[in-house]
Amino acid sequence: MTEKVPTPLDEQETIINYNPNQVNDRASVYTSATNTLAAMWKLYNERPDEVKIIHDDKYGTEFSVPRDWIKIKPKKQLTDEQKQLLASRLAAAVRK
């Protein structure tokens, strides 16, 4: 990994690019965001057959990953009752 230039948080970015008509079913992930870089390098080290490096420089790194890894997953929206139930379960677990 190339040593990165410190980048202010408001200038860090992650760009995911893929084409549904691509033959190879791969997605490109470019990131200069510190936390995403760490996660991607970890995946690269753990799964070198699936994660490839396209480009690495002092600003960020571009990886190639299987396209089916790309998901959009919004957080669950809990009702007030569900939140209260979870809070009471947590409090009971802490008391044990």
Instruction: Give the model confidence (pLDDT) of 57-72 as tens digits.
Output: 999 999 999 999 999 9
Q: Classify burial at 66, counting beta carbons within 10 Å of its beta carbon; exposed 0-12, middle 13-18, buried 19 or more.
A: middle
Average pLDDT over residues 3-24: 88
Q: Which pLDDT score, from 0 to 100, does residue 89 have?
A: 94
pTM, full prediction: 0.77
Q: For residue 64, which of 13, 26, 10, 14 has the smallest C-alpha distance?
A: 26
Q: Please count the helices (runs of H) and the strands (runs of E) in the chain.
A: 2, 4
